[in-house]
Structure 1
Amino acid sequence: MAKGNTHGLDCLFLCFCLFGLFSVPVKAALKKYQFDIQVKNVSRLCHAKPIVTVNGMFPGPTIYAREGDRVLVNVTNYARYNMSIHWHGLKQYRNGWADGPAYITQCPIKTGKSYTYDFNITGQRGTLWWHAHIFWLRATVYGAIVILPKQGTLFPFPQPYREANILLGEWWNNDVEDVVKQGNKLGLPPNTSDAHTINGKPGPLSPCSEKHTFALEVEQGKTYLLRIINAALNDELFFAIAEHNMTVVEIDAVYTKPFTTQAILIAPGQTTNVLVQTNQAPGRYFMAARPFMDAPLSIDNKSAMAILQYKGIPNSVIPILPQIPAPDDTEFALTYNSKLRSLNSPAFPATVPLKVDRHLFYTIGLGINQCLTCLNGTRLTASLNNITFVMPRIGLLQAHYYNIKGVFTTDFPDRPPMPFNYTGAPLTANLGTTLGTRVSKIAFNSSVELILQDTNLLTVESHPFHLHGYNFFVVGSGIGNFDPKSDRAKFNLVDPPERNTVGVPTGGWAAIRFRADNPGVWFMHCHLELHTGWGLKTAFVVENGKGRDQSISPPPKDLPPC
Structure 2
Amino acid sequence: MANRGTFFPGLASFLFVFLGFIHFPAEAAINQYQFDIQVKNVSRLCHAKPIVTVNGRYPGPTIYVREGDRVLVNVTNYAQYNMSIHWHGLKQYRNGWADGPAYITQCPIMTGNSYTYDFNVTGQRGTLWWHAHILWLRATVYGAIVIMPKQGTPFPFPQPNREEIILLGEWWHTDVEAIEDQGKRMGLPPNMSDAHTINGKPGPLFPCSEKHTFAMEVESGKTYLLRIINAALNDELFFAIAGHNMTVVEVDAVYTKPFTTQSILIAPGQTTNVLVQANQIPGRYFMATRSFMDVPIPVDNKTATGILQYKGIPNTVLPTLTQLPAPNDTAFALSYNKKLRSLNSPNFPATVPQKVDRKLFYTIGLGRDSCSTCVNGTRLLASLNNISFVMPETALLQAHYFNLKGVFKTDFPDKPPKPFNYTGAPLTASLGASHGTRLSKIAFNSTVELVLQDTNLLTVESHPFHLHGYNFFVVGTGIGNFDPAKDPAKYNLVDPVERNTVGVPTGGWTAIRFRADNPGVWFMHCHLELHTGWGLKMAFVVEDGPGADQSILPPPKDLPPC
TM range (shorter): over 0.9
Local SS of the residue matching 2:334: helix
Question: SS at 1:18's partner residue?
Answer: coil
Match of 1:3 in 2: none
1:14 matches 2:19: yes
Task: Summarize the Cα distance change of 1:348–1:331 in structure 2 as closer, same or farther, 3 Å threshold.
Answer: same
For residue 360 of structure 2, give the secondary structure of its aligned residue in structure 1. Answer: strand
Would you say 1:34 and 2:36 are equivalent positions? yes
AA of the residue aligned to 1:11: F
Matches within 5 A, 1:15-414: 15-22=20-27, 24=28, 26-27=29-30, 29-35=31-37, 40-42=41-43, 44-414=44-414
**Aligned residue identity for 2:260:** T
Offset at 1:217? 0.4
In 2, Cα distance between the equivalents of 1:168 and 1:36? 25
For each residue in 1:4-48, what CA deviation from the matched residue of structure 2 results, as whole angstroms up to 9, or x when unmatched?
Answer: xxx9854122221122121x4x23x2121233576x341x31213
Name the CA shift for 1:69/1:458 in 2 (closer, same or farther; >3 Å): same
Secondary structure of residue in 1 paired with 2:559: coil
Q: Distance in 2 between the 1:547 and 1:137 partners?
A: 39
The residue number in structure 1 matching 2:462 is 462
**Contact 2:14–2:53, Cα closer than 8 Å, also in 1:** no
Hey, what's the Cα distance between the residues in 2 that align with 1:435 and 1:309?
A: 52
Q: Secondary structure at the match of 2:205?
A: coil
Match of 1:4 in 2: none
Higher strand share: 1
Query: Does the 8 A contact of 1:447 with 1:513 survive in 2?
Result: yes
- Cα distance in 1 for partners of 2:39, 2:217 equals 28
Q: How many residues align?
A: 551
- Structure 2 unaligned spans of 5+: 1-11
Aligned partners of 1:20, 1:561: CA distance in 2, in Å? 32
How far residue 548 of structure 1 moved from its aligned partner, in angstroms, is 1.0
Quote the offset at 1:73 in angstroms.
Answer: 0.6
Q: Distance in 1 between matches of 2:39 and 2:427?
A: 44
SS at the partner of 2:397?
helix
Q: Name the CA distance, whole Å, in 2 between partners of 1:89 and 1:116.
A: 18
Change (3 A) 1:545 1:36: farther
Is the contact between residue 37 and residue 52 of structure 1 (CA under 8 Å) also seen in structure 2?
Answer: no
| Residue 207 (structure 1) shift | 1.7
**Cα deviation digits, residues 97-117 of structure 1 (max 9, x gap):** 000000000000000101000
Distance in 2, Cα, partners of 1:8 & 1:250 = 36
SS at match of 2:18: strand
TM-score for both structures, normalised by structure 1: 0.97
* Cα deviation 1:464-485 (Å, max 9, x = unaligned): 0000000000000010000112
Give me the identity figure in percent: 79
In the alignment, the residues of structure 2 paired with residue 377 and residue 391 of structure 1 have an alpha-carbon distance, to the nearest angstrom, of: 23
Q: What amino acid is the match of 1:278?
A: A
Structure 1 residue 332: Cα displacement:
0.3
Q: Taking structure 2 as the reference length, what is the TM-score of the superposition?
A: 0.97
Q: Report the 3-state secondary structure (helix = DSSP H, G, I; strand = E; otherwise coil) of the residue aligned with 1:338.
A: helix
> SS of the counterpart of 1:250?
strand
Q: Indicate the SS of the match to 2:337.
A: helix
d(CA) in 2 for partners of 1:177 and 1:63? 26
CA distance, structure 2, for counterparts of residue 460 and residue 8 of structure 1? 36
**SS in structure 1 opposite 2:400?**
helix
Could you tell me how far apart the structure 1 residues matched to 2:70 and 2:37 are? 18
Question: Does structure 2 retain, via aligned residues, the 8 Å contact 1:410–1:438?
Answer: yes
1:289 alignment partner, SS class: strand
Indicate conservation of the 8 Å contact 1:13/1:78, yes or no: no
- Tell me the residue number matched to 2:452: 452
Preserved contact between residue 14 and residue 36 of structure 1 (Cα < 8 Å)? no
Q: 1:542 to 1:8 in 2, by over 3 A?
A: closer
Quick one: which amino acid aligns to residue 463 of structure 1? Answer: H
**Cα distance 1:553–1:476, how it changes in 2: closer, same or farther (>3 A)?**
same
The answer for the alignment partner of 2:515 in structure 1 is 515
Letter in 1 for 2:35: Y
Distance in 2, matches of 1:33 and 1:538, equals 35
Letter in 2 for 1:14: L
User: Quick check: 2:473–2:514 contact (8 Å CA) kept in 1?
Assistant: yes
Structure 1: gaps (5+ residues): 1-6
> In the alignment, residue 250 of structure 2 is paired with which amino acid?
E
Contact 1:468/1:524 (8 A) holds in 2: yes
* Structure-2 residue corresponding to 1:542: 542
Whether the aligned pair in 2 keeps the contact of 1:16 and 1:35 (CA below 8 Å) is no
Q: Matches of 1:416 and 1:111 in 2, distance apart?
A: 40
Distance in 1, Cα, partners of 2:300 & 2:276? 28
Residue 150 of structure 2 aligns with an amino acid whose one-letter code is: K
| Root-mean-square deviation (Å) | 1.1
* Counterpart amino acid of residue 297 in structure 1: I
CA distance in 2: counterparts of 1:128 and 1:57, whole angstroms: 18
SS in 2 for 1:379: strand
**Deviations 1:264-296 (CA, angstroms, capped at 9, x unpaired):** 000000000000000000000000000000023
CA shift at 1:442, angstroms? 0.1
Of stretches 508-517 and 72-81 in structure 1, the one that deviates more from structure 2 is 72-81
